[in-house]
Amino acid sequence: MVRVRYAPSPTGTLHIGGARTALFNYLFARHMGGKFVLRVEDTDQSRKIPGSEEAMMRGLKSVGALWDEGPDTDGAPYGPYRVSERLHRHRQAADMLLAEGHAYRCFCTPEELEEERRGRQAQGLPPRYSGRCRSLSAEEVKIRADQRSVVRLKVPLEGETVVHDIIRGEVRFENRIFDDFVIMKPDYTPVYNFAVAIDDHDMAITHVIRGEEHLPNTPKQLFVMDALGFAVPQFAHLPMILAPDRSKLSKRHGATSVEEYRDQGIILPALANYLLLLGWSSPDGQELLTLEEAVAQFSLKRVQHTAAIYDQKKLEWMSHQYMTRLSVSEIAEMARPFINYALKPQPEFEAVVDVSRERAFTLVQLAQQMRFFYEAPESYEAKGVAKHFGEGAAQRLELLAEHLAALPEWNHDSLVGAYDALSESLGVKRAALIHPTRLALTGRTVGPGLFEIVELLGRELVVERLRTAQTRIQQGNVPTFA
């Protein structure tokens, strides 16, 4: 059975690169009928941030990357799923490598290592460990047993190591560029490359799908696997995600954590869809896909080799597509946390969502554009006031208020008829009534269709707002905003 894993460090929140990696693992596992494992790589306890693990999990759930096994699953067969809870296994493996001569204790002090590094640097050589403790006899090691030491793996000094990558093909590394790297720290806890190789084996991981930045780590993990006699999983290193100018992606380009995208009001299924297209494409070029559709189509062979380019405007466009395509009830439920004003009984919430969502790209925008349905405008758009609240506007608003207050029926067709009749009697175009009405009701010059607004607001609110605007114009006291 195919088994893949996503293994984040609990040192922050889930950012776009990690979310993309987790999503690709999830899709591959589902497509292959396999299992997706969440493992927390908390080897460095000093960098662990309280609450980070929970934030990571929330972020993964937000984009639909749901794991089959992880720290929160009961009775899972390959646990525990936190590296800090697997230390006995890592120590057991280190003991075995020491006993078999594949690893050795290194007693070099930080000062000695720094002196060695500077010496090599002065000679124009790369800063790699010389291996001075590699040949210590068992007797010497025993004598120095009480001294501070680390454990280093014996790395092949010649030849090359080949990484067979599903996405990149064969990637070759000359062994001479590696030194005998540390696998156990002075406190006898594992470093990342040692722990991950053991945990991948113990959890029966068949495919390691991760970001390109981990490719240089792969030979070290292969050295560990070879020394321990482990089978090698298949590797697939995903392309980097770069900014539009091909620089390293950062917050200044709009990229942020999944939870911050949520707080900005990006539709989360749209975020998942967008992540899917950062380095992968559908066979038929389809851009809008549900996770179920993506599972059916997903293949690592369609992951591109070159860097994916992050585009904030494309993400917002996709959020808008989902805003208009999901059901009204789904969008209404998503929008509620962003409403910071009182939702009165009238007008009906889902109906307001439906007429407002066409122009919204995020849930924050949607909530802002819906506000006037529940709160009368305290000020009006300045350019609209200059254009539509001029000479004759107060009189037309007064006549509209009277006309609408006496209207027998309150529906779309009767409202259109009322505006047509009044514009004809006044000898003006209907626009001369529509634009001042929109401004009086909403405070803005653009928004949903006017007659939809009027119908939803209801007779009482419409008449009240028309008369408020009329009074302000007559008194020469129209508050505005830019």
Per the residue annotation, which of 220, 251, 313, 314 is the catalytic one? 251
pTM: 0.92
Residue 443: the pLDDT is: 98
Residues 268 and 411 reside in one and the same domain: no
74 located within any domain: no
- Coil, helix or strand at residue 155: coil
Task: Write the pLDDT tens digit of every residue in 211-228.
Answer: 999 999 999 999 999 999
If you search the block for the tokens 């802002």, which residue do you land on?
368
Residues 224 and 290 in one domain: no
Tokens read off for 318: 């996709």
Q: What pLDDT, on the 0 to 100 scale, is given for residue 250? A: 84
Each residue of 401-432: pLDDT tens digit?
Answer: 999 999 999 999 999 999 999 999 999 999 99
Whether residue 249 has pLDDT greater than 90: no
Same domain, 309 and 187: no
CATH code where residue 400 lies: 1.10.10.350
Residue 44 lies in a domain: no
Assess if residue 429 is contained within a domain: yes
pLDDT at position 346:
77
Examine the fold and report which residue of 203, 238, 273 is the final residue of a domain before the chain moves on: 238
**359 within a domain of the structure (yes/no):** no
Separation between Cα atoms, residue 329 and residue 342, nearest integer Å: 19
Judgement on whether residues 175 and 111 belong to the same structural domain of the protein: yes
Taking only Cα atoms into account, the Rg of the chain, rounded to an integer number of angstroms, comes to 32
Q: Does the annotation count 251 as an active-site position?
A: yes
Whether residue 284 lies inside any domain: the answer is: yes
Q: Is the pLDDT of residue 336 over 80?
A: yes
* CB-count burial class (<10 Å; 0-12, 13-18, 19+) for 107: middle
Instruction: Give how many domains the chain has, as a whole number.
Output: 3
68 found inside a domain: no
253 band by pLDDT with thresholds 50, 70 and 90: confident
Domain range enclosing 209 = 87-238
Task: Give DSSP secondary structure letters for 413-474.
Answer: HHHHHHHHHHHHHHTS-THHHHHHHHHHHHSSS--S-HHHHHHHH-HHHHHHHHHHHHHHHH
The full DSSP string for 378-423 is: SSEEHHHHHHHSSTTHHHHHHHHHHHHHT-S--SHHHHHHHHHHHH
Instruction: Provide mean pLDDT across the span 107-122.
Output: 92
Residue 200 domain flag:
yes
Is residue 289 within 8 A of residue 270, CB to CB? The reply is no
Based on the domain organization, do 211 and 278 belong to the same domain?
no
Query: Do 278 and 222 lie in a common domain?
Result: no
CATH, residue 98: 3.40.50.620
Lowest-confidence region among 12-21, 30-39, 244-253, 281-290: 244-253
Confidence of residue 43 (pLDDT cuts 50, 70, 90): confident
Co-location of 226 and 91 in the same domain: yes
Q: Phi/psi at 185 (nearest 5 deg)?
A: -75, 175
Residue 127 pLDDT:
85
Query: Which CATH number fits the domain that encloses residue 264?
Result: 1.10.1160.10
Confidence at residue 121, expressed as pLDDT on a 0 to 100 scale: 87
Kindly state the percentage of the chain with pLDDT values over 70. Answer: 100
Residue 442 lies in a domain: yes
Do residue 138 and residue 275 come from a single domain? no
Do 286 and 399 share a domain, yes or no? no
pLDDT at 445 exceeding the cut of 80: yes
Cα→Cα distances 239→53, 79, 358, Å:
25, 30, 35
